[in-house]
Amino acid sequence: MEINKILAEEFKLKLSQVDNTIALLDDDKTIPFIARYRKELTGSLDDQVLRALSDRLNYLRNMEKRREEIKKSIAEQEKLTPELEKAIDEAKTMVELEDIYRPYRPKRKTRASVAKEKGLETLAVLILSQKKEVNPEKEAESFIDTEKGVNDISEALGGAKDIIAETVSDDAELRKKIRKFFFTSGTIASTAAKEDSDEVYKNYFAYEEGVSKTTGYKVLALDRGEKEGALKVSVNLPEGEAEKICKREYVKNESASAALVAEACDDSFLRLIRPSVEREIRSELSEKAQEGAIKVFASNLRQLLMAPPVKGKVTLGLDPGYAHGCKAAAVDETGKVLATAIVYLTPPRQDTAKAKMILGNIIKKFNVTAIAIGNGTASRETESFTAELIKEMPHKVSYMVVSEAGASVYSASKLAAEEFPDYDVSLRSAVSIARRLQDPLAELVKIDPKAIGVGQYQHDMPPARMDEALGGVVEDCVNAVGVDVNTASHSLLSHIAGINSAVAKNIVKFREENGAFTDRKQLLKVNKLGAKAYEQCAGFLRVPGGKNPFDNTGIHPESYAVAGELLKACSLDIKDIGDTEKLKKALKTVSLDKVSKETGAGIPTLTDIAKELEKPGRDPRDELPPPLMRDGNVMELKDLKPGMELMGTVRNVIDFGAFVDIGVHEDGLVHISQICDRYIKHPLEAVKVGEVVKVKVLDVDMKRKRIALTMKGLT
């Protein structure tokens, strides 16, 4: 079956959708561009489906390439039969394909190849036929040849059995059955590798669970424990059952030859099949677990990047610390630094009175209304101090604890040094924390997504696959929001469809040398930004206050004429763009079907144009509930009691639950079984990073500083 049909079946899409999508991808169109501006061709597939389809397309194409390589290799050996070619063409996975190829793959020296060199293949074939009249020992006598290294009957029979064992091992159908047996009847088990194994892995010191039932996060824990030398991991099977499967396939009767074949089957399984299949099973479990973890990480990252910005507020960022003090940076509504300071809120240099004076003066002088506190070291003490401080302020000030994951990575980066050459590393971190509250997306794109820390075992993932998946999420989020071409940093611009890092820097350089862009068409004057890149990026770059009001919308330049016709149909003109009420009223009187027939534009494109005309440069994040800001009444772990109901912010979602910030230093865990009343396979079905949720305290473990929460029965 051709690839396009396979994809249509797997993704439950029309063949035309798949054909058109593949044609666009092959024409080097970016996924954000396809998702936004080619909806008629794809049937309005979103960026996540498009990325999944693209990944699967690459896998199937690689498999097709491997299929042809295998057929060519076997043909060169003059062993490619019509039946074999059919089997190769019908193989559905790489594992099946490699199993078929196994007997024909050039092998290194094996016991079987040595036996064949000694001329024992004929004897092996004779024994494998299991004719009752054949006496294996008598037949073996004629194969004794001291010059070839066959000194006696025992050596002749041993060599023949080695050849049979390899034949059994190379049987693709048998391996398929054995692999299935591993999954249905096997267990994955682990024990402590040594007496002083890391206590982190104590849950796995006497662990055993069915291979098919082992969850992804457990597989990743086993892999890491094994890698660190803390665990011994194995895949166990019911004693002797797999050997019986081999014998059922190869032992035909109770002859003397059959007894030797049975011995060869036992040897084949224990020496050749089991180690190989066990490695495959472990590898498959790990790959599946890694892919699952990457998907969770990507989903969490998407929610974090698309968290609602706290716009229009002068913000004070606090990067807590003990010995080196708490670093503070106030930034204006656009993120420009207004003031910086270092205050000491904890021993050994504690001076809270002076800290209140310094930070109080900054808050009053610049009319700070929001405070962002990093959630790292000394965050608890800093939050308590802040709660007291804002009570003394003459105007309303609220605060939020934000994740500072990756802030230190950013502050020590070359990019941060270029942005803030006059500030040391610690103060840059405070600026980053303030900006994370104002615009999480614009700030977090400066940091390697792996350093943001919203997932599990992210450092154990295959780097290339992780970078590809997370890079795609960042690209989708940046393009979904769009950027102001006159204020965006080159790091933000580099994630726009069709623009790489070099072109992003050229855009900033052009801006600095020629002043602000006043027209999207000016982008074509930027060095290395050609027509192809312009087509991809233009719709995602906004030009506020430019010559053409369309340039400050998500309408692509290729559709400006269509947008003009839609305005005309509404009896309006370009000056009315942004007059939401006027446009809403006018659009109700217009038939998009009629405009579609007149202009040739599809309904999805016209619908998007209408939304942009109503609210140019609309930010999809504005439609989300605002983040949870606090204004005092800080609690400590000891204040929590079972039954208490609180509001909190989801900080991380993993396979077995969600961690929620409820205003104490430790995040509480809502186990997957406590997230909702209905059954869910994964927490992501019910909660998202950044979501504000209502929780109830189930239990507080003061010794281990663990909080168990529930969301069941709460609205």
Q: Map out the domains of the chain with their CATH numbers.
A: 3-104 (1.10.10.650), 111-186+237-293 (1.10.3500.10), 315-469 (3.30.420.140), 508-623 (1.10.150.310), 637-710 (2.40.50.140)
Rounded to whole angstroms, the Cα distance separating 257 from 135 reads 7
Rounded to whole angstroms, the Cα distance separating 276 from 279 reads 5
Q: What is the CA radius of gyration of the chain?
A: 33
**pLDDT tens track for 340-394:** 999 999 888 889 999 999 999 999 999 999 999 988 888 888 988 998 899 899 9
**Cα–chain-centroid distance for residue 199?**
29
Give the type of residue at 237: L
Output the six-digit token pair for 359.
């930070």
Output the six-digit token pair for 166.
């390899």
Rounded to whole angstroms, the Cα distance separating 561 from 554 reads 14
Kindly give the parts of the chain with pLDDT less than 50: none
pLDDT given for residue 626 in this prediction: 78
SS3 of residue 57 by DSSP: helix
Cα torsion 646, 652, 658, 660 to 10°: value is: -10
Residue with tokens 């665990």: 231
**CA dist list (Å): 56 to 28, 550, 586:** 17, 37, 44
Output the six-digit token pair for 591.
């038939």
**Cα–chain-centroid distance for residue 691?**
19
pLDDT given for residue 69 in this prediction: 95
pLDDT given for residue 633 in this prediction: 67
**pLDDT tens track for 129-148:** 999 999 999 999 999 999 89
Residue with tokens 């007496």: 195
pLDDT given for residue 557 in this prediction: 96
pLDDT given for residue 414 in this prediction: 83
Rounded to whole angstroms, the Cα distance separating 78 from 333 reads 74
Where does residue 456 rank: exposed (0-12), middle (13-18), buried (19+ CB within 10 A)? buried
pLDDT given for residue 1 in this prediction: 54
pLDDT given for residue 634 in this prediction: 63
Rounded to whole angstroms, the Cα distance separating 45 from 35 reads 6
Q: Which residues contact 456 (CB under 8 A, 6 or more apart)?
A: 217, 220, 293, 296, 297, 654, 655
Cβ neighbours around 622 below 10 Å, total: 12
pLDDT given for residue 307 in this prediction: 86
pTM for this one? Answer: 0.82
Rounded to whole angstroms, the Cα distance separating 49 from 384 reads 45
**pLDDT tens track for 480-498:** 999 999 989 888 999 999 9
Q: Which of 178, 241, 239, 183 is nearest to 211 (CA)?
A: 183
Q: Which of 7, 44, 37, 32 is nearest to 22 (CA)?
A: 7
Q: Which helix (H) or strand (E) holds 286?
A: helix 274-305
CA dihedral sign of residues 457, 459, 464, 466: positive
DSSP helix, strand, coil percent of the chain (3-state; round to 5) = 55, 10, 30
